[in-house]
Amino acid sequence: MKRKSRFLMAIGCALLAFLLLGTVALAESPVMPEEAEAVFAGEVEVKPDEVVGVWVIAGRDVIVTSQTRILPSPDEVQVGDVVRVEGKPREDGFYARVILKADSRPSHLRVVHGKIEAMSDAQWTIGGRVVLIDENTRLTGDEPDVGDWAVAKVEKTEAGLLAKSILVKDWRLDEREVKLRGVVQAIDNDVWTVETADRLVMVYVTDATRIIGDPVVGDKVGVKGYAREDGSVLARLIVKLGQRDERLAFAGFVTEIMATPEVLPPTWVWKVERPAFEGHEAAMWLVMVTEDTRTNVPPNEVQLGDWVKGWGVSASVAEDMILAKAAFVTRPPLVRFSGETLATPDPPDYPLGVWQIGEYVVHVGEDARIVGEPPQVGEQAGGYGSLRPDGGIDARLLAKLAVTP
């Protein structure tokens, strides 16, 4: 029986020796506890003079460490602010991984635009959305009628979307969306002239038009909108394009999420960071996701710490920003590790916990498979697992490796 066990262990070690190639970067930061992540929101009641320490948020003790991300910055989060906290609860307090200040911008108006599909004294239907009308709603533009184009600035109330103002244009638009690319030749208030490969196009801009990248005369732009009978276009989206439209790839963990929910439909900007691992250097991208981005998870459901990969083109909005054409949430990559066991978890948790194996910080949980007896300090060990945002590894397999004489 013992000979059989030794034989099986020898086979396991041989397979590991075949698999264990390459390296992965070691995260130098302390490791958060292994409890499940949790999220809550509330008002900051106590903030110590030093950022690191115990905060009180919504009546809860929140432990802030040097590894806690405070957005937009520690100085901009003060007592009285409402924040969202992500982290891990423990008996001695809630260990914060991220503290995010709620959007404090005074504007709470949203924009609804589209064809007027129905009208009554109390409400209109604009682009498939019901908009409430009252005596304070300000109407501008042309005399409204069903079939006209309208842009409404609305406020969300308990009764529904209440229009503060509505701009009406007596335009009959093609329901099909048109797309064009060209160079901006002129900007005259709300009318742009864009030269495409075969003609000059008049592009009309309204409050509902999203403009990305602050284009000026001479810039190359992409336009999406609706065609008018005279061939001009009512723009829904104008994006300043880079000098080259080459395909730009990204893959990493979402570490920040910035949204513009006051515009319908909203736009998200993700900060995507990839720690260094075998064959890959550390990298960072700013990725803009719009309603036109092809996704497998709705952008508003993407969470901090998700691994995303995709591609896009340069939006010329900021350095390294990508206008995503496709963005998918997937599992983090598998990476391999091997080396001398330098540190193991303390009893009684051993072998579960955090290991130091050669250059690698390895997290061994209940789901990890341990082949044979767990390695001891000084012994060679190896395995593989999933990459973590901090550059460590969540082990799937761990084994003691035989040392060849």
pLDDT digits (tens, 9 = 90+) for 218-242: 888 999 888 887 888 988 888 887 6
CB neighbour list of residue 139: distance below 8 Å, 6 or more residues apart: 165, 166, 168
Assign 203 to helix, strand or coil. Answer: strand
Residue 98 has pLDDT above 50, yes or no: yes
pLDDT for res 108: 59
| Residue 215 · residue 256 · CB < 8 Å | no
| pLDDT band at residue 81 under the 50/70/90 scheme | confident
For the entire predicted model, the pTM comes to 0.44
CB atoms within 10 A of CB 33: 12
pLDDT band at 77 (very low <50, low <70, confident <90, very high): confident
**pLDDT of 3 strictly over 60:** no
* pLDDT category of residue 316 using cuts at 50, 70 and 90: low
Whether 7 and 255 have beta carbons less than 8 Å apart is answered as no
pLDDT of residue 392: 94
**Main-chain dihedrals φ then ψ at residue 365, nearest 5 degrees:** -110, -175
Q: Averaged over 277-295, what is the pLDDT?
A: 88
Question: Cβ distance 376 to 366 under 8 Å?
Answer: no
Mean pLDDT over each residue of the chain, to the nearest integer: 81
pLDDT exceeds 50 at position 8: no
Split at pLDDT 50, 70, 90, the class of 364 is very high
CA 151 vs CA 58, 126, 166, 301, 377: distances in Å:
39, 8, 6, 28, 68
Mean pLDDT of 52-81: 84
Confidence tier at 296 by pLDDT (50, 70, 90): very high
Q: Is 9 helix (H, G, I), strand (E, B) or coil?
A: helix
Average pLDDT over residues 193-208: 87
Instruction: Tell me what pLDDT residue 264 has.
Output: 52
pLDDT-derived band at 190 (thresholds 50, 70, 90) equals: confident
Q: In angstroms, rounded to a whole number, what is the distance separating the alpha carbons of residues 1 and 18?
A: 26
* pLDDT exceeds 50 at position 368: yes
**pLDDT tops 70 at residue 69:** yes
Higher pLDDT, 53 or 306: 306
**Structural domains in the chain?**
2-29+333-400 (2.40.50), 38-101 (2.40.50.140), 110-169 (2.40.50.320), 177-240 (2.40.50.140), 248-330 (2.40.50.140)
pLDDT at 157: 87
User: How much is the pLDDT for 265?
Assistant: 61
Which helix H or strand E contains 2, and what residues bound it? helix 2-19
Give the model's confidence band at 193: pLDDT under 50 very low, under 70 low, under 90 confident, else very high: very high
